[in-house]
Structure 1
Amino acid sequence: MNTVEKLLKLDAKKLKMPEKDIVLKLNRLGGEEIVFPCKAIDAELYAEIQEGSIEIRKGDIKKINMYEMKIRTLVEGCPDIFKSSEVMSHFDAPTPKELIKKLLLSGEIDELYNTINELSGYEKDDEDDIKNS
């Protein structure tokens, strides 16, 4: 069976974005365990986030703002938390970015960012494979 035949046999109504709940112990909240519902990001939006994080001068890439890219990825990948007006109000954060700054430390941001990337189809680097090559 070729690829076209195989795709035509699949139920198109079952297409959905991958999702996964991640439990983090937030150090700023005394180690309180919080469940973050994460989801994959649409390819077009993912590209927009990446493009918006690159500074170009005179046709050359001068800077990639990794922090901005991670924050925008978290906002889009965990919208139930970071776009919640109730949560932002409760923590006196006027924007999703400010909410993330108040709640998460650098490693916690990276953990959510890596999870969203994996859900979006990017495989996590296996450090053992890198070391052994």
Structure 2
Amino acid sequence: MSTTIETLLTLSLPEPKTETVTIPRLVMPDGKPLTLELRQLTFNQVADLRAHNRDFAVHTVLAGVKAPNLRDQSLREHFDAETPAELVKKLLSAGEIEELSARISTLSGYHRKTVELVEDVQKN
């Protein structure tokens, strides 16, 4: 019979979750909406964002958008944004920033049921 520790030692961690979304308001030259690839953040990344950033949603978007690279210098220059955070604020509406932040949070395990209660009390 194997113990829980022995069983855990056989597990591999799943790949981080990703999700592709579009921003219908931002239409590319080919007529299609802007597509963003979002990624799951780790606990440490989220904790660091909460501790060090007043604009948590903006910095969550910066950390959670895998592609395109919103820190790209040429992109910032094109939109006359001094910082990546300023670029996000110029490129996306307030609602889009909040919704993207929420989607990234969901990918990261927030806002959804992630644990289940085990009923181990026997009824007499």
TM-score (norm 2): 0.71
- Map 1:83-122 to 2 at 5 A: 83-122=71-110
1:27 CA drift (Å): 5.8
Instruction: Report the counterpart of residue 33 of structure 1 in structure 2.
Output: 33
Tell me the SS of whatever aligns to 1:109. Answer: helix
- Map 1:62-73 to 2 at 5 A: 65=54, 68-73=55-60
1:32 CA drift (Å): 6.1
- Give the structure with the higher percent helix: 1
Q: Comparing both chains, which one has the higher relative contact order based on Cα–Cα distances under 8 Å and sequence gaps of 6 or more?
A: 1
RMSD, aligned CA: 2.7
Are positions 1:19 and 2:18 aligned together?
yes
> 1-side partners of 2:75 and 2:26: how far apart?
18
1:84 CA drift (Å): 2.1
8 Å CA contact 1:27, 1:105 repeated in 2: no
**Higher alpha-carbon Rg:** 2
- Map 1:48-87 to 2 at 5 A: 48-53=48-53, 65=54, 68-80=55-67, 81-87=69-75
- Percentage of matched positions with identical amino acids: 28
Instruction: Report the counterpart of residue 121 of structure 2 in structure 1.
Output: none
1:98 CA drift (Å): 1.3
List runs of 5+ in structure 1 lacking aligned partners.
Answer: 54-64, 126-133
Tell me the SS of whatever aligns to 1:121. Answer: coil
- CA gap of 1:89–1:124, structure 2 versus 1, over 3 A, is farther
Are positions 1:8 and 2:17 aligned together?
no
List runs of 5+ in structure 2 lacking aligned partners.
Answer: 114-124
8 Å CA contact 1:74, 1:116 repeated in 2: yes
1:3 CA drift (Å): 3.8
> 2-side partners of 1:49 and 1:40: how far apart?
14
8 Å CA contact 2:42, 2:108 repeated in 1: yes
